[in-house]
Homo-oligomer: A and B are copies of this chain.
Amino acid sequence: MNLSEYLHDRRDRIDQALNRLLPPIDSHQRTVVEAMRYSLLAGGKRIRPILCMAGAEAVGGNPDTVVNFACALEMIHAYSLIHDDLPAMDNDDFRRGIPTNHKRFGDAAAILAGDGLLTEAFSVMTRRALHPEISSEQLLEATRVVADLAGFRGMVGGQMVDIESEGVRPTIDVVQFIHSTKTAALIRASVSSGAILAGGTEESVSNLSRYGDFLGLAFQIRDDLLDVVGTSEEIGKPAGSDLEKNKATYPAVLGIAESEAREKQMVEQALAALSSFDDRAEPLKDLALHLLNRKK
């Protein structure tokens, strides 16, 4: 299998679906809708929706049946970036090479664009007609899993601790908590919701959840490393900004070499979680190896 063609094809299908699902620009509330579209269409790797589709595929489902649900995960990811970038949070001016949402639309519109994307994600997940081949039970359960892992138990909780840890000498325990909630939780939700929607067994959903956790941790270690060793051009925002903000990162606690070793370990554990799957889990395996070597 050619991973780069696979990713290209999936990104195309996801972008087409996202375009169909985009909020229309109405006369009254156009500012917030424009701000929502701005961040949703600012590019990005579409990793979470790709993982959702790959999760469905791994349990023998047709990935196209979950593409609309997968788009909701990208909306949640986009909302989290908008809120994370706010002056009250990470105070970042650039994201993916363009001004962050609040730099372009102002703080109020950025807060509301994030709120709008988060809420719209749940509208998309629960709109019966968008998921004709999925049962209502599976839709409910997948939506519940996403809500749990995106909220205070997961992403929101991790972002809180991340902010609180700035300037405090981080311990490996805190760094691990932040990474497993702030990043890995939504990655886990993406793979496992895809598997739930495609009717995966409890055991396969649980294995894919473990895969998602390890992949998410590896993904975040790589992000941390890129902030140290990458160039601003490669990563689309100023390099070294984590260091400058005294962020709780793996390299800050363990150094570069040990962080790379941990990343490799996490990828190996992600692959081990796939051991009981057949070749329909091939994309998930290749994705894990690909993310290990990414430069942005």
Contact = CB atoms under 8 A, between A and B. Distances in A.
Interface of A: 23, 26, 28-29, 31-33, 36, 83, 86, 88-89, 106-109, 111-112, 114-116, 118-120, 122-123, 126-128, 135-137, 139-141, 143-144, 147-148, 150-153, 156-161, 163-164, 174, 177, 181
A55 to B, nearest CB: 18
The number of times this chain is found in the oligomer is: 2
A217 B115 CA distance: 23
Contact of A151 (B116, B128, B151): B116
A28 B140 contact: no
A242 to B, nearest CB: 17
- Of A128, A141, A150, chain B has the most CB atoms within 10 Å of the CB of A150
A120 B151 contact: yes
- With most chain B CB atoms within 10 A of its CB, the pick from A33, A122, A163 is A122
Given A88-B107, A126-B143, 10 more contacts: A28-B177, A29-B156, A88-B88, A89-B111, A116-B152, A119-B152, A120-B151, A122-B122, A122-B147, A139-B140
A150 B163 CA distance: 28
10 contacts: A29-B152, A31-B164, A83-B111, A83-B112, A89-B108, A109-B163, A114-B115, A116-B151, A120-B147, A136-B137
Question: Interface centre among A31, A36, A127, A156, by most B CB within 10 Å?
Answer: A156
B181 A29 contact: yes
A5 to B, nearest CB: 35
A198 B115 CA distance: 29
Given A119-B156, A120-B151, A108 B126 contact: no
Nearest to A164: B31
B120 A160 contact: no
Nearest to A79: B115
A41 to B, nearest CB: 15
Contact of A157 (B29, B127, B153, B157): B29
Given A28-B157, A126-B147, A163 B108 contact: yes
A90 to B, nearest CB: 9
Nearest to A31: B160
A66 B136 CA distance: 19
A78 to B, nearest CB: 13
A75 B145 CA distance: 18
Contacts of A106: 88
Nearest to A152: B116
Among A26, A31, A151, A174, the most chain B Cβ lie within 10 Å of the Cβ of: A151
A97 B32 CA distance: 31
B160 A32 contact: yes
A141 B140 CA distance: 10
